[in-house]
Amino acid sequence: MAEKVTIATVAQHARVSRQTVSNVINAPHIVRPETRQRVQDAIVTLGYRANQAARQMRTGRSRLIAVRIEPTRDGINGSVLDRFLHGLTETAEASGYRVMLYTAADDDREIATYGDLLSAYDLDGFVITGTDHGDPRTAWLAEREIPFVTFGRPWDHLQSHSWVDVDGAAGTAAATAHLIAAGHRRTGFIGWPAGSGVGDDRRAGWRRALVETSVDPTALDAETEDGIAEGARAARELLDRPAPPTALVCASDSLALGAMQTLRTAGADLPVIGFDDTPVAAAVGLSSVSQPLGDAAARCVDLLTDLLDGPRHGPRQVLLRPALVLRHPA
């Protein structure tokens, strides 16, 4: 094992003081180019790497950001997190940050974990996913002025903190417009009960697209909880109506998958478009609205590092457009 190389080793090797080495690293512009070069050479030669713990103790900053890894929800939608985490880690690395994971069974314990992570590890910031109306977590963080970004809009006060989200309405609108263009004026929708921000948003996009072509959406709308069985049931119910839809847009791939099952057993051949572009959709040839998760993760890191490193400007928001992925059932 090689000797431990510290800032002092580098200083000695480059015949300068510790502080000058530190300056080369943290404020290169105040060091004379000639000296800077000599120090940089020494750093490379010795393979020096700044010790984060020591830096952290002095500065109080850890260059660490925390993300919660959720106790795998229904599984079918869960795999979304994978891609998001990967994007997050990758972008964070590029900005000199690292990602730390944590879990929590509920909001209260999650908040307790914040305290722990902050005082024990000096965490710099948080990325929060799956926010709800009046989320206690964001309130807690905001109150203490701890930097954080949410992936998902706060549906109550849109401007109060930084967030990144995907424009679900634009996604369902695009899906609906695609079906209308293919001749399906009566495109139905299976979505979640009103009240969830995300669900309402996705329904709104579908509704908008229909209204734009002067079709009344009310008779083509089905509300149900998420799930394959629920989707199947809702599809059956829609087909039994007086003027059934000739195509379907769904708020999730789970619902869409259920709908496809109903259609197959009923021998009906309506096009269905899901939401989230999960692996399942790809596997069964289901068209779906795809969230740009890599981008979303990258923007989350950007907004967070903005809060951490950047000059003091208020919170920022980013709304990304999803893409429509068209497939043909096998």
Among the listed ranges 15-23, 86-94, 188-196, 320-328, the one in contact with a second copy (CB under 8 A) is 86-94
Task: Name the one residue in this structure whose structure tokens are 């490193």.
Answer: 309
Cα separations in angstroms, 183 against 60, 81, 268, 308:
61, 35, 17, 50
Nearer to DNA, 25 or 319 (CB): 25
- Cβ 237 vs Cβ 255: under 8 Å: no
Phi-psi label, residue 176: left if phi above 0, alpha if psi -120 to 50, beta otherwise: alpha
Q: Looking only at residues 57 through 76 of this chain, which bind DNA when binding is defined by CB under 7 A?
A: 57-59
The binder of a second copy chosen from 17, 28, 98, 193 (CB under 8 A): 98
Which of 41, 108, 116, 156 touches a second copy (CB under 8 A)?
A: 116
Query: With CB cut-offs between 5 and 8 Å by kind, which of a second copy, DNA, none does residue 279 bind?
Result: a second copy
Q: Which stretch binds a second copy (CB under 8 A): 76-84, 162-170, 194-202, 308-316?
A: 76-84
Q: Does 50 bind DNA (CB under 7 A)?
A: yes
Adjacent-strand bridge partners of 189: 221, 249
DSSP 8-state class, residue 311: -
35 binds, among DNA, a second copy, none (CB under 5 to 8 A by kind): DNA
Q: What are phi and psi of 260, to 5 degrees?
A: -60, -40
25 contact, one of a second copy, DNA, none, CB 5-8 Å limit per kind: DNA
Which of 216, 213, 248 is closest to 231 using CA atoms? 248
User: Binding residue for DNA (CB under 7 A) from 2, 12, 13, 19?
Assistant: 19
282 binds, among a second copy, DNA, none (CB under 5 to 8 A by kind): a second copy
Residue 37 binds DNA, judged by CB under 7 A: no
C-beta of 59 vs 72, nearer to DNA: 59
Report how far residue 263's alpha carbon sits from residue 67's, in angstroms, rounded to the nearest whole number: 40
Q: Which helix (H) or strand (E) holds 10?
A: helix 7-14
